[in-house]
Amino acid sequence: MNDRNPRVMILWFFLAVFTVSSIMLGWLLWPFLSVIVLAIVVTGIFNPVYRFLNRKFNSVISSLITCILIFFVLFIPATFFVGVLANEAYELYQTARAAVQTLEIKKLIEQSKLIDKANQILDNFNIEITGEQITKTVSEIGRVVGLFTYQQLSSITANVLKLIINFFFMLLIIFYLLIDSKRLVSFIVKLSPLPDDQDQKLIRKFKDMSGAILIGNGLGGFIQGMLGGFVFWIFGLKSPFLWGVVMALLAFLPIVGIGAVFIPAAIFLFLKGRIAAGIFFLIFYIVLSSTIEYFLKPKLVGRRVQMHTLLVFLSIIGGLKLFGILGIIYGPLVVTAFLTLADIYETSYQKMVEPL
């Protein structure tokens, strides 16, 4: 009994020291969290390339070639896209400001007599809308989107040195993750006090959700943004590249989606008297979004990720609010961790805490 007490004290002392060291390590790595997460994400995307190269070369050469490929695939196009996006965002901001000053949107609404028709319906609810209200709302949305995007991109381009350093730091992390990822996962599994099957379940769920975000939502968003921007360009709407990027990001949201851009654009075309173009926009939006959501994504992701649509929506919105653009990745992963742990608790530990 006396021998047991010192052992318990040693255990608690060790756990306290280990907890403090873990907190210090997290504090030390916190400034690099975004870079580390991006490195893990990019490593997951390019891991099949590394495995293919590793059949012919050793792990160091394969990882080096993969990192060079990542540089040409990501860094060079990204620098070009940032410049184009910054210019289009500034043009959108100026256009929205001019629309407020010249009341162009108000004139279009009044000429179309859309307000009169809408007010006839809304009169039953004692609601009335005016052209000035709609003008201010639409113009403010365009102004805020343009100004926010321009400020974000300008801050990136203003600190080019930091951008370059972070990118090459990310490549360094990717280089070692490609080589040592299996050993890292094995180390985490051995260190975890949970049974191996539960550790494997957690890791599998994270891999599945990462695949859903990157392959399903990422590729689906890219296709919708690219085609949406192309349609904007074909029909002569301003800032097609910028709106294409906005649609690619909105495509991650399962409830809103690219309709947040396409439907207002169709209404704008109707107000301009371009009825056929407005109808085409609505049909194109329905066909494109339904094809991606109900055919492409299930084929790519399968049934591996079971998460309610509303929960996905809230996790992404919450992630964006807390972490910025990387919240698209962080939010669903946080929810995945909770749901997986809740499932493990229900199947393995709930009986242990229930009264007999």
One-letter amino acid at 32 equals F
Average pLDDT over residues 120-145: 60
Segment among 106-120, 249-263, 330-344 with least mean pLDDT: 106-120
Q: How far apart are CA 337 and CA 275, in angstroms?
A: 48
One-letter amino acid at 37 equals V
Q: How far is CA 308 from CA 121, 157, 191, 276, in A?
A: 35, 38, 32, 37
Model confidence, pTM: 0.67
Contact 85, 149 (CB under 8 A): yes
Looking at residue 101, what is its pLDDT?
A: 47
Q: In sequence order, which residues have a C-beta less than 8 Å from that of residue 149 and are 6 or more positions away?
A: 85, 86, 89, 92, 242, 246
> Is residue 68 pLDDT above 90, yes or no?
yes
| Token representation of residue 139 | 């113009």
pLDDT > 70 in the chain, percent? 69
* Torsion (CA) 263, 268, 271, 277 in degrees, nearest 10: -70
Average pLDDT over residues 64-78: 86
Q: In sequence order, which residues have a C-beta less than 8 Å from that of residue 194 and are 6 or more positions away?
A: 202, 344
Q: What tens digit of pLDDT does each residue of 74-101 get?
A: 787 777 776 666 666 666 656 655 555 4
Average pLDDT over residues 137-156: 58
Q: How far apart are CA 50 and CA 65, in angstroms?
A: 8
Looking at residue 13, what is its pLDDT?
A: 85
Q: In sequence order, which residues have a C-beta less than 8 Å from that of residue 188 and are 6 or more positions away?
A: 199
Q: What tens digit of pLDDT does each residue of 17-35 get?
A: 988 998 998 899 888 887 8
